[in-house]
Amino acid sequence: MVRMRPMLSLVSLVAALAACGGSDGDGGGGTNPTPTAPKTVTITPSPISVFVGDSVQLTAVVRDSNNNILANSTVTWGTGNGSTASVTAGGRIKGLAAGTTQVTASATPAAGQAGVTVSTKPAGNSFHPNLSTYLGGNDIELARDVTVDAQGNVIVAGNTYSDNFPVTPGAYDVTHATGFDPPADAFIVKISPGGSVVASTFLGGPNYERIYGVETDAQGFIYLSGRAGASFPVTNGAFQTTFGGGSTANFYGPQDAMVCKMQPDLSARVWCSYFGVSDDGISRDMTVDAQGNVYLVAWTTVGGFPSAWFTNAYQPTKHAGEEVIVAKIKADGSQVLWATYLGGSGDDGGTPAIRLDANGNVLVLFMTNSTDLATPGNGDHSLNGGLDQFLAKLSADGSQLLYGTYVGGGGNETSETHGLAVDGTGNAFVAVATTSNNLTFPGGNYQAQYGGGTGDGVLWKIGPTGTILAGTYYGGTGSEGIQGVSADANGDVYFSATTSSATIATTVAGGGNPNGNGDAVAVKMSGTLGSLLFAQRFGGSDDETSRASWIGSNGAFVIVGQTTSTNFPLVNALQPQPGGGGFDDAWLIRLIP
């Protein structure tokens, strides 16, 4: 398989982001053997869009007459109209009043300018984008998860086939691995609250790797889970340093689940491990507790994980077909503290998700066609259709099933990634796709009736004892799916959807050009699921898929996905053009209150 596309200018730009004055990224970068005078200064992003009261971090890239980056240049910032916008000595611009102006970055004798538009926030609009950007190189990129750390940095992860994906000097791995077709490495990018690249790295070996799950802790360490092939860079002392194996009869080659902890600046691994046996079971989700212990969920068709893991397990042995496995991993990555299988007489797994409640209990969501799963608690005790979701709540030590409930209707309920959230009082939100047109919901519901087409998004709220409290469809006459759901401190729920419907409920007019394939939608609903508080559609003239979302403690609502559109809507973009060639690029949108 041979792919060729024009080389992406963002590669040199990201190196400059890490090296030049005004950046809040890493140090390092290129230098000249003989110092020369600045010739050009380029401001990023450009143009700049900011609302009154908001701010955006700018970066100045200084080059000499040979186009070499002058990493240590002194940059002076100024604005043309100080009543419209102000700019700090470090290049952070703030909107003061509606209007237009210019910002100037000077490195004597050179200077650069960028246009600035300051707008008044729309009335009644609870969020607005202050960053929307492509992330991509000369081949395919898939962004599969996103989170916001305690400092407000955005971390996005997925995988890339591009040998020139924009990584930063000083990052753990700046060389794209080769040896497998397609040549897929995982990637992790960290973006500052101001909107500039802090760090960006590859993660992988010579085979196929992809990150599906990313989390952070209070100290800013970054945790990752996903899939990996043989020769993945595990660390000495990790709980599984040997590749488990798997089938060669799939697109990805033999695969195991993998789990890693990275330094906050992405300069090094703290630890990395396989989690797998001789099948193709992988992990699409994970979570972390306050002590840094990792909770991983995966699936297996053969079982055979070490028996010592299951000493106190709720279900110590695998039953039939595909089955879920849940494990708690010690914070230093050295051992599995406990594990349990979850399954019945059918197939159980699909794309399982995992979260913790405030008491440390472990909630696990997975697809099932088993009719005999245990259902203690006050939930739904019967399989409803061909494929239901099943929500299990395990005790903190994995030894008890506190409740189990089927969630579904007469059709199929399916998920890709990250379909589970838990609020501060222990209520769970299940957000997936459904073909069931016969769902009925207790309590309040925003959309009681199926929208039509080939599938709708659907959400349920499930109480701490398994009682289904509320639910709602979210869909139009085309097809909808949901990937990524989270809850804020008030118990309101946020998710990202993909829609092909010509119209779908939004609170912001316009946005997106439906062509029957896909646009992204960012959605906020009340915790009762009775009110649509915010919804905005995003898309270009081709295809968008939303893959994950997250609401940060700082109020930032972030969604990520992939696009083949060359006119995806951009705001203060880190990368203002797609990679080109018609391949998928990753995209990221950050919305702020």
What tens digit of pLDDT does each residue of 216-243 get? 999 999 999 999 999 999 999 999 999 9
Ranking 12-16, 291-295, 343-347, 469-473 by mean pLDDT, the lowest is 12-16
pLDDT at residue 16 above 70? no
CA distance 587 to 102: 27
Rounded CA gap, 128 and 593, in Å?
7
* CA gap 419, 37 in Å, rounded: 54
Flag the least confident range among 40-49, 256-265, 325-334, 371-380.
Answer: 40-49
| Structure-token pair, residue 263 | 């330094």
Give the model confidence (pLDDT) of 413-435 as tens digits: 999 999 999 999 999 999 999 99
> Where residue 461 falls among pLDDT bands split at 50, 70, 90?
very high
Task: Give the DSSP H or E segment for 499.
Answer: strand 493-499
Q: Is 502 exposed, middle or buried (0-12, 13-18, 19+ CB in 10 A)?
A: exposed
Using CA atoms, how far apart are residues 470 and 529, in angstroms rounded to an integer?
A: 7
Q: Is it the case that residue 515 has pLDDT exceeding 80?
A: no
- Residue 21: the pLDDT is 35
Counting residues of the chain whose pLDDT is more than 90, the rounded percentage is: 85
What tens digit of pLDDT does each residue of 54-109 get? 999 999 999 999 999 998 899 999 999 999 999 999 999 999 999 999 999 999 99
Query: What local confidence, expressed as pLDDT, does residue 18 receive?
Result: 37
**Four-residue CA torsion sign, 510, 515, 521, 525:** positive
Residue position matching structure tokens 């440390």: 360
Q: What distance in Å separates the CA atoms of residue 94 and residue 25, rounded to the nearest whole number?
A: 20
Residue type, 212: Y
Taking the C-alpha atoms of residue 241 and residue 335, their distance in angstroms, rounded to an integer, is 11
The answer on pLDDT for 439 being more than 70 is yes
Predicted structure pTM score: 0.91
Query: In this structure, what token pair is assigned to residue 405?
Result: 């409930």
Banded pLDDT at 32 (limits 50, 70, 90): very low
Residue 149 backbone phi and psi in degrees, to 5 = -85, 180
Say which amino acid occupies 102: Q
Separation of alpha carbons 449 and 94, rounded Å: 45
Q: Which helix (H) or strand (E) holds 200?
A: strand 197-203
Cβ proximity of 196 and 169 under 8 Å: no
**Residue 12 pLDDT > 50:** no
How confident is the model at residue 245, as a pLDDT?
86
Q: Considering only 168-177, 232-241, 510-519, which range has the smallest mean pLDDT?
A: 510-519
pLDDT of res. 23: 36
Q: What is the pLDDT of residue 17?
A: 38
Pairing relationship of beta strands 48-51 and 110-119 according to DSSP bridges: parallel
Give the start-end residues of each E strand in 357-479: 362-368, 388-394, 401-407, 413-414, 420-422, 428-434, 456-462, 468-474
pLDDT score recorded for residue 34 = 55
- Report the mean per-residue pLDDT for the chain: 92
Q: Which domains does the chain have, with CATH numbers?
A: 31-119 (2.60.40.1080)
7 pLDDT above the threshold of 60: no
CB contact at 8 A, 403 and 420: no
Span 283-317, pLDDT tens digits: 999 999 999 999 999 999 999 999 999 999 999 99
Q: How much is the pLDDT for 250?
A: 83
pLDDT of residue 356: 98
